[in-house]
Amino acid sequence: MKYVLVDQRSGAEIIYLDLYKGLKLKPKDLSKYDTHLLGFDGRIVIPKGMIKLSMRTSNEVVEIDFIVIDAYSPYTAILARPWLLAMKTVSSTLHIKVKYPSKGRMGELVGCQTMARQCMVAAIRHQCVGLACSAHLQFD
């Protein structure tokens, strides 16, 4: 995942269709997900389905249920409270960081303010409103 929005207020992890296809996942890999979501632009989004994926951050691996949607986003994924809780993280919007315990030490994911700003501008250009960027992290 390249551009990830960490949203402390959201209760659902999201991956966008481009990432889903980029991971070479097939429609048969999805389980049914019938609840509609509200997009950043205020429109109703009908999910394609849900998929459980392993997510690795440094030495930590957690299983996350991602909702797959086909909508515009400058991000490839949104990580929310379930991931934050599973990783036992402490996040800082001010510092654009997420810290988590890892093998007796503190692991750290550091965001990029420039990229966060570029994503926000891209979202605004696509008439997105209410973009709540709790933290923007770039994963390599």
Whole-angstrom Cα distance, residue 14 to residue 78?
5
pTM flag (> 0.95): no
Distances (CA, A) of 122 to 2, 39, 84, 115, 116: 15, 15, 25, 10, 10
* pLDDT digits 0-9 by tens, 2-59: 678 888 888 889 998 888 988 898 888 999 999 998 776 677 889 999 999 988 877 7
What pLDDT is recorded for position 78?
87
What pLDDT is recorded for position 135?
47
* pLDDT digits 0-9 by tens, 78-135: 888 888 888 888 888 778 888 888 888 888 888 777 776 676 666 666 654 444 444 4
Q: Identify the structural domains of the chain with CATH numbers, from first to last.
A: 3-138 (2.40.70.10)
What pLDDT is recorded for position 129?
42
Residue 140 — very low, low, confident or very high, per pLDDT cuts 50/70/90? very low
3-state secondary structure of 44: strand
Whole-angstrom Cα distance, residue 81 to residue 84?
5
* pLDDT digits 0-9 by tens, 57-69: 777 788 999 999 9
Whole-angstrom Cα distance, residue 87 to residue 94?
20
What pLDDT is recorded for position 119?
66
